Structure 1
Amino acid sequence: MPRSRGGGRSGQEAGRTELVSRSLQSAQHCLASRDFGTAYAHYLLVLSLAPELRDDVKETFQYTLLKWAEELYSLNRVQDLFGCYEHALELFPDDEVICNSIGEHLFRMGFRDEAAGYFHKAVKLNPDYTDAKENFYRVANWLVERWHFIMLNDTKRNMTYNSAIQKVVRLGCKTVLDIGAGTGILSMFAKNAGAHRVYACELSKTMYELACDVVAANKMETGIKLLHMKSLDIDVPKHIPERVSLVVTETVDAGLFGEGIVESLIHAWEHLLLQPKPKGKDGNCEEYGQVIPAGAVVFGMAVECSEIRRHHRLDVQDLAGVHLPANVKFQSLAYSSIDSEETIEPYTTEKMSRVPGGYLPLTESFESMAVDFNNLQELKNLATKKPHKMIIPVIQEGVLDAIVVWFVLQLDDEHSLSTSPHEETCWEQAIYPVQNLPDYFVKPGDHVTMEVSCQDCYLRIQNIHIINADHEMDVERSSNKNEEESHALGSEAELCSALAGLQTSKPDEIRQLCTLESTEIALLNNVPYHEGFKAAMNKVLTSLAPSKQSQIMDVEDGGGEMNSGNSQGGNSIHFTTDPFYVLDVSEGFSILPIIAGTLGLVKPYSSVEKEQHRLTLDLISEANHFPKDTLEFWLRHVEDDCAVLQRPKSDKLWSIIILDVIETSGLIQQEMMEKAAISRCLLQSGGKIFPQYVLMLGMLVESKTLIEENAVQGTEPTLGLNIAPFINQFQVPVRAFLDLSTLPCIPLSKPTELLRLDLMSPYLNDSNREVKVQICKSGQVTAIPFWYHVYLDEEISLDTSSETSHWKQAAVVMDNPISVEMGQELVLIVQHHKSNISITVKQ
């Protein structure tokens, strides 16, 4: 009997070995024929039957998985896609390549929290895995927004909140709910003050897990109950056992209401808080409910600011020979109507103390609204209250560009925090750009009118107008025609409305409203950018002309009608042969294809995606007398948006391909070099990619600001609480969206060329480079800001740090400051991998 059983085992083992061998052969055969799905199934069978082969087939399995996952993603088979990754992680739970790949798919689909978890795990498994590091750095900015670091380093803010919480807890508020807990710092203030029971809710999975770690590290996990949920979903007694006597929160943004504080406090008063203390009642507050902050007062000021203007208002009518017609109206997202389908913040934000070019106050600061967070009825009335009309006198001559808004947060009757541009604060200010006025000039004696409301739980400042002093007397005379009319205009609100109507001129007939990102409007206002592209494209087309030219017309100085082609200030080339093909695949809205169309017999293709933007470009083409269908929209000809870089026809090649190589944030575009490699294969002989190469420049600086915006600096700013090691896991070495012209810093070296990225001649590129930098001032190197010179050709370049640039800049922030002396030479190691740049100092 034993011999029989042993023979059976032997036979089974032989059968298993045979099946494994055949499955391996089948997998390799399927890979050769690019049948990744079947190959993947064979590898799963092999690994389930012979786990001892894991190390031998690991790399091939990874390759097969990644290829099959891409195929499933393209087929929108999401459930199968994640099923494959689930099986793969069971077999290789600690494989950084698989973790990174599943993170990339999750991120594409909008699951940022989950994606970050996999990227973070991949980096922990292999700290040198560049792809995972780059992915984690990019997603970390979304998961833990940079203001968390700035806020936690704001000692004044932390001390003021702590004092207010201590005061009320010691008076008897012993049960506390922290709404929007973040790292849990306010909950820990309450616990340290003596609260018996503290509950805290946080919606972000990343921040919730971070808070759990922070609370545990500070040995308060038994006294603080953390909930991963919205406060609106909390139910008593299901989630917390009782109503609380104190709600603490800092769910306020630059526009006060944008993080939903009104809605969450209405719900809290109705379902989570004890009843408020009756007016005039003395004694402690243990049996009553209250909120910190107790209320807020909102202030505003009209300003002139060229930086805000160029990002929200079109300042040009003609751009590199292209006329932008009056029947096309451009507006920024911040001006979008509340009636639009998607809810958009009606303001943007700026740190006004650091805005490039500064700003000029045109009015005194004025109080626009006050709110009591301890008054339920007042909170309910906010959302339904009619807009409050205001009339503000002008004190300074200038151009009305925006209403700047800030607030004073009244934590209680003793403690407050101001977000004014004159204060050293972690908050930015809310900016309401002024648009759609016939004239923006104001002078003393004029008035600015506006309507202030809290519609959709956003602070809204709308219907901004100018009352010109020259018209006031006319209105006064007309309002005195009879007593009834005089009474009708008696109130300030009615007078404001009547006067404002006088300066509203009848607008030109608008055929197309085009809503753009603020960076897209700044790009349209960037005249050197468009003139540079026009000159560079004209040079390429002129050089290509002899091979196809049948006739060259004389140079045209003026911008006449384009029949077969025209150019303002350049050669106008007419052909009887096929046209030149120009493809613009730059990001967002771009008029470069229309500029290309003015340079001769050119067939320009735009890759804009939004129908609104296509209609706008069609109207601009029409206004510039393009023959119908001159401009084509390439995505209509492409089945897969990812394959936008293709030939225009089977037998044609592109003369010019325009790529976006720099993000407006100041970073290099992802997959830029891969796109350049494809583009080179699609160019006709003598054709060019724009830009042809990019130089990255940088300098060494000492900047306390960049250090504090990049990581929490020890336990001192957080009043002894241990938070820094946990949130600093999400710091990233590169800080984007900087304005170097106003960044508080001390330059320690002159600008130096750090890297060259050549799109036309890739053999000139070097992914690793050592750069010597001469120190011109003694100090501590804390960061290396960088920017680019974008070369369209050897003579025409664009500087991403110039005053007219629509690009921001970026900086590498050092882990540890380096002391340097004047005259010393520092060697930087600059590495470029895909779109990621790392800069370290050679020790």
Structure 2
Amino acid sequence: MQKEIQDLVEKSLKKARRLRAAGNYGHAYAHYTAVVELAPEKRADVEQEFTDVLCKWGMDLEKVDFEKMVLCYTRSLEIFPDNPRMLNNCAAHYIRKESPREALPYLNRALSSAPDFLPAEWNRNYAYNLLIDRWHFPMLNDRNRNTCYERAISNRISQGYNTVLDIGTGSGLLSLYAKDSGSERVYACELSTEMSFIADKVFSTNNSTDITLLPQHSTSIEIPRDIPQKVKLVVTETFDVALFGEFVLSTLIHAHEHLLSADGIVLPMGATVFAAAVESPQIRFMSHVTPAAKSDLTLNFAGINICADNKNYEAISLREDKTLYLTDPVEILQVNFNDLSELKELHTDGTKNVSWVKVRKDGRIDGLVVWFKLDLDEENTLDTSEEDSCWQLAVFADKPVKCSIGQDLKITTELWREQLRCTYELPKDKNDNSNWRKCKDFYRISQHTVMFLNDDDYMSSIARVAQLHRTKRYRYILDLGPFPVYGLEMLKWNEEVLRVYCYAETEEFGDLIMRIAEQNGVDREKICIVESCEEIDRSLDVVFYHNFSTQGEINDWSEPSLYQALKLTLSTDGFILPRRIFLIGQLIYSEDLPRMVLVEDKNVQRSLGKSNYVIGDFVNQYSCRQRFDLDLALYKAVEVSEERVLVQIDEGNTTSAVANFGKIQQRGVLPNVLVCWYTIHLDGGNCVASRRENSFMNHSAIILEDEVKGVIERGEDVRFKVLQMTGLTRVSLVL
């Protein structure tokens, strides 16, 4: 019997390996499972192969049968319970399904088994981001916002509006204000499961268990099932940067009709929305392709209108020193949250308003910035355009339009189905010969690609590398840039190139690539658009591998590893561009940046009475100390050290390094942030850093623990251990 089992195991293993090589991962997984179940002694030998097949089979199953995929992972983890890759990949499936809470146990197990397995750490942080929106941190740290709400709530309760429903309570702060302002009864509803957990802990810790927490949307609340009777005061702060994006109209209509007493009132009372036209290189950079004249790029984009295929508006913090207001603010919309008929009309019929405003300066309009003022009560108003506000601005970008002082600008405002849209228009000028009026072709592409093409320094570096390679015998090229600049430049100048493979995210994007090729005299027959590396049937001489996100991080490709797949497709002498990537760091001091990732309880305390609220302990459990998508120009900061190389990125291996910043002199401020960015070495001395103006990517900031102050005060060198794995990094202070 034992001999028969051994023969069966050997046959199954051979079949599993053949099927794996053929890409038949489902059948390969079945045979590998037979091997590890029948022959436990072989588990260690085949664990990596088994894991590879499971991860690839899981990707296939996710698309057609999620439950079967979960069963495969459950069965496999019974055999390999501490395999960090299996645990991480199972979690990644849940994250893609937008089920981050289900993912966390697997990620915690993975990190318990392998504390330095950075993909699991990255996915756990990502799960935290899904569970709790990052705007909760700056919002709770906005002392002015909190104080205004507290005073307005206290005023209303003192006027007799003493039963309160807090809609969208979040952490429960406004409910605490209502309770401690003397309300008879407070109800708090919250749809987010995770925020409900937090609010429950906040109420318990702050001796407010008498606040009734309803973990549901306010529109599902029924009387008397959920609350005994209608309330006299509804409090809410369910507004996005364009006021209406969180469906506040439908929420308040339901509240007026079902939850608020006839003599009750809503806080805030109402809001006024404003708009202004601006000239902003920041908006232009994100919205439209405008290749700079000084670029070494030789590809001709003339006559082609390329803009970002964005949602209706972007939430942006604009750099004040780079933003020119070309008009005065104009009021475009008002809403009274205590007028039910007005709310119903706006919700059902929408509105369309036309406003006219004089252009006060010569310039170029890149878009409209929109903000609002919240009238909480007669005494307290919040203005979301103020510099220290936790809200960003809503930006409605359109094609750049030249304007002259004294012109009348038409701003059209539409509100339909609780979506705000703003457009602008100048009177037609017959003498306007701008490129936009000459454009015959119009393409919408991703914002990432727009920013990539607008990064003149990066485009110049890529073009110079192509010129460096124009005499090389490179025949087959894969260009994985957001736009195949390197590949098209090589086709234009290097006759040896026979084929350039590239990806196209949409059919329209593929058409754009071909249109640019045709306009530049490139043979379209030499361009092959593919969806995966498996479609490439030749060894490659060069791969241009652009693996950066606009947020300032190297993409986590997870499973399967694209980088490893690319290395397998290279010819013997083939290579990948960029040649090298370094992570750079600098110590700074900033009051602003820690508030973006950690809630300080001092910012939520009452101004009108005694309080000792504890909220930060619960919200900060979901904090990610490394914050991406950072433009340091938007924040006040003091440089405390020189720049240092932290580590060289190696996506094929795990590496570690120690970066020594030396002794830091105590000159008034001590560092509390390590800001990080990349230097990208393409080839032949062509290097570009991501921390610069008009970079296609932002950078990141690591909020430091208090221990760094002790190191500095003791006069010791400030050193950081940097761990790098598949492009992901962890930076920790060496004590």
Range class of TM-score, shorter chain: 0.7 to 0.9
Query: What's the CA shift string for 1:640-668, capped at 9, x where partnerless?
Result: x4xx2x4732xx32121111232211112
1:634, distance to aligned residue in structure 2 (A): 1.6
- What are the within-5 Å matches in structure 2 for residues 333-412 of structure 1? 333-334=309-310, 344=311, 346-352=312-318, 354=319, 357-383=321-347, 384-412=349-377
Give distance in 2, aligned partners of 1:756 and 1:128. Answer: 17
Give distance in 1, aligned partners of 2:178 and 2:44. Answer: 51
Matched to 1:273, the amino acid is: L
Q: What SS does the corresponding residue of 1:695 show, helix, strand or coil?
A: strand
Q: 1:630 to 1:174 in 2, by over 3 A?
A: same
1:398, distance to aligned residue in structure 2 (A): 2.2
1:192, distance to aligned residue in structure 2 (A): 2.4
Is the contact made by 1:187 and 1:224 (CA closer than 8 Å) also made in structure 2?
no
Which residue number in structure 2 is paired with residue 12 of structure 1?
Answer: none
Q: How many residues of Structure 1 are paired with residues of Structure 2 in the alignment?
A: 707
Is the contact made by 1:176 and 1:248 (CA closer than 8 Å) also made in structure 2?
yes
Which residue number in structure 2 is paired with residue 767 of structure 1?
Answer: 655
Which residue number in structure 1 is paired with residue 477 of structure 2?
Answer: 582
Pick from 525, 544, 564: which aligns with 2:473?
544
Is the contact made by 1:254 and 1:349 (CA closer than 8 Å) also made in structure 2?
yes
Matched to 1:518, the amino acid is: Q
Give distance in 2, aligned partners of 1:330 and 1:207. Answer: 40
Matched to 2:317, the amino acid is: K
Give distance in 1, aligned partners of 2:350 and 2:433. Answer: 26
Q: 1:658 to 1:63 in 2, by over 3 A?
A: closer
Q: 1:716 to 1:323 in 2, by over 3 A?
A: closer
1:391, distance to aligned residue in structure 2 (A): 0.8
Which residue number in structure 2 is paired with residue 160 of structure 1?
Answer: 148
Is the contact made by 2:118 and 2:730 (CA closer than 8 Å) also made in structure 1?
no
Query: What's the CA shift string for 1:419-472, capped at 9, x where partnerless?
Result: 11x44211111112231x6xx23232122211112123122212x11248xx8x
Which residue number in structure 2 is paired with residue 110 of structure 1?
Answer: 98
Q: What SS does the corresponding residue of 1:818 show, helix, strand or coil?
A: helix
1:262, distance to aligned residue in structure 2 (A): 1.4
TM-score (norm 2): 0.87
Identical amino acids, percent of aligned pairs: 26
Q: What SS does the corresponding residue of 1:245 show, helix, strand or coil?
A: strand
1:187, distance to aligned residue in structure 2 (A): 2.0
Which residue number in structure 1 is paired with residue 22 of structure 2?
Answer: none
Q: What SS does the corresponding residue of 1:322 show, helix, strand or coil?
A: coil
Give distance in 2, aligned partners of 1:241 and 1:31. Answer: 66
Give distance in 2, aligned partners of 1:505 and 1:699. Answer: 43
Give distance in 2, aligned partners of 1:402 and 1:585. Answer: 31
1:687 paired to 2:574? yes
Query: What's the CA shift string for 1:228-247, capped at 9, x where partnerless?
Result: x3333333344444332222
Pick from 699, 720, 725: which aligns with 1:828?
720
Query: What's the CA shift string for 1:345-401, capped at 9, x where partnerless?
Result: x2112223x46x521121222222111011111112224244211111122222212
1:322 paired to 2:299? yes
1:789 paired to 2:679? yes
Which residue number in structure 1 is paired with residue 426 of structure 2?
Answer: 466
Matched to 1:806, the amino acid is: F
1:110, distance to aligned residue in structure 2 (A): 3.4
Q: What SS does the corresponding residue of 2:706 show, helix, strand or coil?
A: strand
1:522 paired to 2:451? yes
More displaced, 524-533 or 215-224?
A: 215-224
- What are the within-5 Å matches in structure 2 for residues 183-222 of structure 1? 183-222=171-210
Give distance in 2, aligned partners of 1:37 and 1:87. Answer: 11
Which residue number in structure 2 is paired with residue 298 of structure 1?
Answer: 273
Matched to 1:771, the amino acid is: A
Pick from 407, 410, 413: which aligns with 1:452?
413
Give distance in 2, aligned partners of 1:590 and 1:270. Answer: 56
1:259, distance to aligned residue in structure 2 (A): 1.3
Q: 1:172 to 1:360 in 2, by over 3 A?
A: same
Give distance in 1, aligned partners of 2:725 and 2:15. Answer: 31
Which residue number in structure 2 is paired with residue 560 of structure 1?
Answer: none
Give distance in 1, aligned partners of 2:68 and 2:544. Answer: 37
Matched to 1:441, the amino acid is: K
Q: 1:84 to 1:212 in 2, by over 3 A?
A: farther
1:426 paired to 2:390? yes
Query: What's the CA shift string for 1:555-598, capped at 9, x where partnerless?
Result: xxxxxxxxxxxxxxxxxxxxxxxxx1111123x44444322321
Q: What SS does the corresponding residue of 1:110 show, helix, strand or coil?
A: coil
1:413 paired to 2:378? yes
Q: 1:72 to 1:840 in 2, by over 3 A?
A: closer
1:140, distance to aligned residue in structure 2 (A): 2.0
Is the contact made by 1:777 and 1:821 (CA closer than 8 Å) also made in structure 2?
no
Which residue number in structure 2 is paired with residue 756 of structure 1?
Answer: 648
Q: 1:129 to 1:525 in 2, by over 3 A?
A: closer
Give distance in 2, aligned partners of 1:431 and 1:291. Answer: 28
1:152, distance to aligned residue in structure 2 (A): 0.9
Is the contact made by 2:367 and 2:398 (CA closer than 8 Å) also made in structure 1?
yes
Query: What's the CA shift string for 1:587-629, capped at 9, x where partnerless?
Result: x444443223212232212112211111111222222233342
Which residue number in structure 1 is paired with residue 627 of structure 2?
Answer: 735
Matched to 2:518, the amino acid is: E
Matched to 1:251, the amino acid is: T
Which residue number in structure 2 is paired with residue 564 of structure 1?
Answer: none
Matched to 2:539, the amino acid is: L
Q: 1:139 to 1:654 in 2, by over 3 A?
A: same
1:443 paired to 2:404? yes
Give distance in 2, aligned partners of 1:699 and 1:129. Answer: 25
Matched to 1:102, the amino acid is: C
Q: 1:539 to 1:94 in 2, by over 3 A?
A: closer
Q: What SS does the corresponding residue of 1:401 show, helix, strand or coil?
A: strand
TM-score (norm 1): 0.76
Query: What's the CA shift string for 1:79-121, capped at 9, x where partnerless?
Result: 2122344567889999977654431111133333433464356
Matched to 1:612, the amino acid is: E
Q: 1:64 to 1:388 in 2, by over 3 A?
A: same
1:612 paired to 2:508? yes
1:308 paired to 2:283? yes
Q: What SS does the corresponding residue of 1:451 show, helix, strand or coil?
A: strand
Q: What SS does the corresponding residue of 1:785 show, helix, strand or coil?
A: strand
Matched to 1:333, the amino acid is: D
Give unmatched runs, 5+ long, in structure 1.
Answer: 1-17, 47-52, 276-287, 335-343, 472-500, 546-579, 636-640
- What are the within-5 Å matches in structure 2 for residues 664-683 of structure 1? 664-671=550-557, 674-683=561-570
1:534, distance to aligned residue in structure 2 (A): 2.3
Matched to 1:660, the amino acid is: H
Q: 1:715 to 1:787 in 2, by over 3 A?
A: same
- What are the within-5 Å matches in structure 2 for residues 7-18 of structure 1? none
1:795, distance to aligned residue in structure 2 (A): 0.8
1:627 paired to 2:615? no
1:43, distance to aligned residue in structure 2 (A): 6.8
Q: 1:539 to 1:515 in 2, by over 3 A?
A: same
- What are the within-5 Å matches in structure 2 for residues 534-573 of structure 1? 534-544=463-473
Give distance in 1, aligned partners of 2:225 and 2:328. Answer: 51
Give distance in 2, aligned partners of 1:42 and 1:170. Answer: 74
Matched to 2:542, the amino acid is: I
Give distance in 2, aligned partners of 1:176 and 1:425. Answer: 26
Is the contact made by 1:676 and 1:689 (CA closer than 8 Å) also made in structure 2?
no
Is the contact made by 2:167 and 2:218 (CA closer than 8 Å) also made in structure 1?
yes
Is the contact made by 1:348 and 1:431 (CA closer than 8 Å) also made in structure 2?
yes
